[in-house]
Structure 1
Amino acid sequence: MNRIGVYPGTFDPITLGHMDIIRRGAKLVDQLVVGVTTNPSKSPMFTVEERVAIVEREVAGLAGDIRVVTFDSLLMDFAEREGATMIVRGLRAVADFEYEYQMAGMNQQLNSRIETVFLMADVGLQPIASKLVKEIAIYGGEIGKFVTPAVRGEVMARVDVIGRRGS
């Protein structure tokens, strides 16, 4: 039996924290499906198609069977379609845990055959959040500590296109 895990997120942009969870999550399963989705409460910098292309490029050199796909449905429906037995979630702080714990409980009610596994982010990567990376970039700050050089270039190019606030 193949163990398939799903790691869902918006990945807007993909950060070093995301990469850490993908790298480690891929070791736990035979195949890790990175599910790129939209979140109505977030304003994306990149389209879903752009994010998929960026994530595919970033994970190309990682060990393990990693597949990147889009989804626009309930997470548990997506996981079921992918044949997943596990949802992989990254935790940065206590605030993440409260939200993720509630989500895991709801997801278990929707489909008790799929387990949620939490991975703590690497200590050095815990403060990284895509939202903050975008905000730092928009205000002209340096984001190179939080994303790969290629992602940094794409974020900064997008910021130049949309214009920095306060300029």
Structure 2
Amino acid sequence: MRTAVCSGSFDPITLGHLDIIRRTAACFEQVWVCVSPNAEKKNQMFTPEQKLLLVKAAVAEYPNVRAELWPGLLADYAMDHGACAIVRGVRNATDWDVERELARINADLHPGLDTMLLPAAAEYEHFSSSMVREMIRYGQPLEKYLPAAAVELVRKMRTELNREEA
């Protein structure tokens, strides 16, 4: 079975992320979505468990896609799941440079593990999770940015958080 891994911190998952996952699912028999903490990223809005819940809701319609949390190295996750490829979305030249370096590191860790870089679809190349977090903070409509299955969950999570903070 040809297996691929899509990964990210998904804080939160966006339509851009989902487009990369959907396109990967069309090319591979099994896709694992690895929800990873990223210590480099500040101002996380959602807990790892909330991120996983959002991702699972977003990919529920794809029978060959599963999602899990993973605190370790992505290359190790890919090998543990029998993946032949890591698939990453790239929006611009900066993403390309970062992902190319990570691909080389992952290949050094596990020779034979390929990384495939998919360009973001034009309608999503300006999306970022940080931009979406701003939309959430300021109560903007989310339907243009988040998978439909995640919109209501995000609203519920934010309402619960606001109640706890009050």
TM-score interval, normalised by the smaller of the two chains = 0.7 to 0.9
Q: State yes or no: 1:51 paired with 2:51.
A: yes
Deviation, structure 1 residue 114: 0.4
> For the Cα contact (< 8 Å) 2:58–2:148, is it kept in 1?
no
Q: Which amino acid aligns with 1:89?
A: R
- In structure 2, runs of 5+ residues without a counterpart are none
Cα RMSD after superposing both structures: 1.7
TM-score using structure 1 length: 0.87
TM-score using structure 2 length: 0.88
> For the Cα contact (< 8 Å) 2:18–2:147, is it kept in 1?
no
- In structure 1, runs of 5+ residues without a counterpart are none
Q: Which amino acid aligns with 1:99?
A: V
Whole-angstrom CA distance in 2 between matches of 1:148 and 1:80: 29
> For the Cα contact (< 8 Å) 2:57–2:149, is it kept in 1?
no
Alignment correspondent of 1:40: 39
Map residues 17-166 of structure 1 onto 2, 5 A cutoff: 17-42=16-41, 43-62=43-62, 64-160=63-159
Which string of whole-angstrom CA distances, capped at 9 and with x for unpartnered residues, describes residues 15-41 of structure 1?
Answer: 100110011001121100001111112
Whole-angstrom CA distance in 1 between matches of 2:92 and 2:134: 20
Determine what percentage of the aligned residue pairs are the same residue: 35
SS in 1 for 2:61: coil
Which string of whole-angstrom CA distances, capped at 9 and with x for unpartnered residues, describes residues 90-131 of structure 1?
Answer: 011111111111111111111121000011111001111111
Aligned residues: 161
Whole-angstrom CA distance in 2 between matches of 1:144 and 1:53: 18
Whole-angstrom CA distance in 1 between matches of 2:100 and 2:131: 23
Deviation, structure 1 residue 45: 1.7
Which string of whole-angstrom CA distances, capped at 9 and with x for unpartnered residues, describes residues 115-157 of structure 1?
Answer: 0001111100111111110023213433321113442333344
> For the Cα contact (< 8 Å) 1:92–1:121, is it kept in 2?
yes
> For the Cα contact (< 8 Å) 2:57–2:150, is it kept in 1?
no
